[in-house]
Amino acid sequence: MLVAGVDLSVRRPSAVAVLEGCEVLYLALADSDDDIITTASLMRPAVIAVDAPLSYPPEGRGLREVERELRRMGFKLLPPLMGPMRRLTDRGVGLSSRLGAEVIEIHPLTSMKAMGVTRGFLLRRLGVGHRDLVDAFAAALTAVAYLRGMYRRFGPFVLPTARVCV
């Protein structure tokens, strides 16, 4: 089954990784939402894990419950409406409804920490030196964990509970 990971960005190209099981099928940079949507429509992944907030905090300010809960667990996520995060949140919310697949919210460094791997380890495993591509790969690994039932869910956010594929 195919899954995808998207490291969404607002200032530079976003990164996309598509896995079949644990094998990398596609790894590329996308200049626009349309590029990401085209990849999703061609590949048809069952799940797309997106590195961006996919919902807004209640009353339009502060933290969502997911940020509070993950902070209690020792993970740090930025508030979705703080500074430049607002643009990323707006883009994530808008894009998620256009992808044509089940979409989950993730944070690559949080996923890596939960799976007990580092960015350096994944850089070596993947054989690329581009951090955004590695983050998209980590997002796709989180989607694999999700499909295998090895996760905890906090609203739209998915945290892997086991290491998969690597």
Domains in the chain, start-ordered, CATH in brackets?
A: 2-158 (3.30.420.10)
Mean pLDDT, rounded, for 7-21: 97
**Confidence (pLDDT) at 46:** 98
Which strands, in side-by-side order, build the sheet including 157-160?
23-30, 14-20, 2-7, 47-50, 102-105, 157-160, 151-154
Asked if residues 7 and 1 have their Cβ atoms less than 8 Å apart, the reply is no
Asked if residues 17 and 140 have their Cβ atoms less than 8 Å apart, the reply is yes
Place 59 in a pLDDT band, splitting at 50, 70 and 90.
confident
CA atoms within 13 A on the CB side of 39: 26
Place 74 in a pLDDT band, splitting at 50, 70 and 90.
very high
Q: Is residue 60 over pLDDT 90?
A: no
Q: Is residue 56 over pLDDT 90?
A: yes
Tokens read off for 152: 């905890």
pTM of the entire predicted model: 0.96
Give bridge partners of residue 88 from the DSSP assignment. none
Mean pLDDT, rounded, for 108-133: 96
Residues 54-82: b if buried by 16+ CB within 10 A, e if exposed: bbebeeeeebbebbebbeeeebebebbbe
Closest CA to 99 of 164, 47, 29, 27: 47
Render pLDDT for 82-116 as a digit per residue (tens, 0 to 9). 999 999 999 999 999 999 999 999 999 999 999 99
CA 6 to chain centre: 5
How far is Cα 145 from Cα 100, in angstroms, rounded to an integer? 20
Mean pLDDT score of the chain, rounded to an integer?
Answer: 96
**Confidence (pLDDT) at 61:** 85
Render pLDDT for 37-51 as a digit per residue (tens, 0 to 9). 999 999 999 999 999
Bridge pairing between strands 157-160 and 14-20: unpaired
**Confidence (pLDDT) at 129:** 87
CB atoms within 10 A of CB 33: 15
How far is Cα 132 from Cα 36, in angstroms, rounded to an integer? 14
